[in-house]
Amino acid sequence: MLKQNEKNKQQSNDSNNPAMAHDLKNSQNVQEQYVPSYRDIELLAHQIHEEKGGDELDNWLEAERLLREKHRSGGS
């Protein structure tokens, strides 16, 4: 119980410190960031390759970008 109280007190102090509050906010944003699955990227990259050829890495990066944009815009 004492350790939990110390942890709560530390978290409270962290949120009062502007630098720590900024770091906490950034870490929360990172946790909320969408990351497409390996398989979804792989399938779309293959589809891009079938449609227009190109470099594997470029196709992979384009697939990842497209999936992130789709997620951001609320597409399914």
Q: 46: how many CB neighbours lie within 10 A of its CB? A: 14
**pLDDT above 90 (res 29):** no
Q: Could you give the dihedral angle defined by the CA atoms of residues 23, 24, 27 and 31, in that order, rounded to the nearest 10 degrees?
A: -170
pTM above 0.85, yes or no: no
Taking residues 44-70, report their average pLDDT. Answer: 97
**pLDDT above 60 (res 43):** yes
DSSP for residue 1:
-
**pLDDT above 70 (res 44):** yes
Cα separation, 37 vs 14, whole angstroms: 33
Contact 71, 34 (CB under 8 A): yes
- Beta-carbon-side half-sphere exposure of residue 6 (alpha carbons within 13 Å): 3
**pLDDT above 70 (res 51):** yes
pLDDT at 46: 98
Give the residue extent of every domain in the chain.
Answer: 7-33, 37-76
**pLDDT above 60 (res 20):** no
